[in-house]
Amino acid sequence: MEWPRTPLDLAEEQVRIGSLDVPEWTPPSGVLTGGVFVCFERGGEGAGGPGDRGWAGAAVREGRRLVISTEFGEAGAAYEPGFLALREGPLLEAAVVSLAVRPDVLLVNATGRDHPRRAGLALHLGAVLDLPTIGVTNRSLVASGPEPDSDRFARSPLRIDGDVVGYRLRARETARSLCVHSGWRTTPEVALDLVTRVIGRFRTPEPIRRARTVARRARSGH
């Protein structure tokens, strides 16, 4: 599957994949949860433009072994909410494909069903890779819902037109909540359960935190 190159083509593809009736994924025992993250060169103006240099990192832990990969490339477009796939999609795909171990599910720093066309980058990346995905972001895009209680792992639903598309999750008592999004073949409940499992001492889920570290180290190496 090729990535769209224009906003119009992307919007049409988002409508298509967002309306697909795909089977729900059931996590296996001993599920391998990977993460992927992209960072861009520092010093640019605004939210970012086309051609920005980017570094994508992917990580998955298999037993005690941390498997990582990095890819370098250029942003395909400027940053625009709802159209992140134009900017980051191919670079993130390349980093995941480069992993020596394929994860069972992938955590992505992007929205999933919380999207105007129900197909944010987290869901789109899963469709391209044929891999279950979960989105994790600092804020919602379209969905709304109350903040969870202050207790660790408290959660509250995020809804669009009454449909639950994700959850706010309190990863740490003293930290702001995360938004956990259902993605490709994952329900909001499965997404919430798996993200809760991989939160350690930090607010950011470990697979994304590891991938972020890999990407930033690759950027520093340049």
Q: Report the C-alpha gap between 58 and 133 in whole angstroms.
A: 13
Token pair belonging to 51: 């051609």
Helix (H) or strand (E) holding 40: strand 33-40
Q: What are phi and psi of 189, to 5 degrees?
A: -70, -40
Q: Report the C-alpha gap between 98 and 105 in whole angstroms.
A: 15
- The predicted model scores a pTM of 0.96
Fold classified for 31-221: archaeoglobus fulgidus dsm 4304 fold (3.30.2170)
Q: Report the C-alpha gap between 188 and 201 in whole angstroms.
A: 23
DSSP-derived secondary structure letter, 25:
P
Tell me what the mean pLDDT of segment 181-196 comes to: 98
Are the beta carbons of 212 and 68 closer than 8 angstroms?
Answer: no
When pLDDT is cut at 50, 70 and 90, the band that residue 77 belongs to is very high
Q: Report the C-alpha gap between 130 and 104 in whole angstroms.
A: 10
Q: Report the C-alpha gap between 46 and 220 in whole angstroms.
A: 21
Q: How many Cβ atoms from other residues are within 10 Å of residue 58's Cβ?
A: 29
Interval 19-54: pLDDT, tens: 999 999 999 999 999 999 999 998 766 778 999 999
Q: How many Cβ atoms from other residues are within 10 Å of residue 6's Cβ?
A: 11
